[in-house]
């Protein structure tokens, strides 16, 4: 797995790291039970502070993407409380849909975007 950090991005580095790990799990590049590099190793590889990596890992653990194993370190473990996840997704999507409505993006265009994203994560071709 290759993580690419954009040091010029307005998005915090720990968020970039967290998001790229979630996307890698969705794309099946990171699999259940697979160990991530240690905080120190990841920080050295990316050229960032260990606290930055630790924060990303902590959020991933809190959100149910990682668990800590004494022998293996940070391990991919996608735990899902479907009801809680649906509620969290609703809250996140609410703002996206509100932005789309304000900017005149049609329901059909939004539906197509979501369908294309699912297709991409499920390995099918992208049709914009």
pTM listed for this prediction: 0.80
pLDDT cut 90: percent of the chain above it? 73
Tally of CB atoms within 10 A around 128: 6
Say what the pLDDT of residue 69 is: 84
Which of 62, 23, 54 lies closest to 38 in space, CA to CA?
A: 54
- Confidence band of 72 (pLDDT split at 50, 70, 90): confident
Q: What's 76's DSSP letter?
A: E
pLDDT in tens, 73-103: 899 998 777 888 888 889 999 999 999 999 9
**Please, which residues have CB within 8 angstroms of residue 79's CB and are 6 or more apart in sequence?**
64, 67
Q: Cα(100)–Cα(106) distance, rounded to whole angstroms?
A: 7
Beta-bridge mates of residue 69: 73
Beta-bridge mates of residue 67: 75
pLDDT in tens, 17-39: 999 999 999 988 999 999 999 99
The answer to whether the beta carbons of residues 67 and 77 sit under 8 Å apart is: yes
Helix, strand or coil for residue 64? coil
């Amino acid at each position: 797995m290759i993580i690419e950090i954009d040091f010029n991005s307005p998005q915090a580095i720990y968020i970039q790291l967290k998001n790229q790990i979630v996307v890698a799990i969705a794309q099946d590049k990171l699999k259940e039970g697979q160990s991530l590099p240690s905080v120190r190793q990841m920080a050295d590889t990316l050229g960032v502070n260990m606290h930055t990596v630790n924060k990303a890992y902590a959020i991933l653990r809190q959100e149910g993407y990682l668990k800590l194993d004494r022998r293996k370190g940070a391990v991919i473990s996608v735990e899902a409380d479907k009801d809680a996840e649906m509620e969290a997704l609703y809250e996140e999507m609410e703002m996206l849909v509100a932005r789309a409505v304000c900017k005149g993006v049609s329901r059909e265009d939004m539906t197509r975007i979501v369908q294309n994203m699912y297709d991409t994560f499920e390995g099918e071709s992208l049709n914009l």
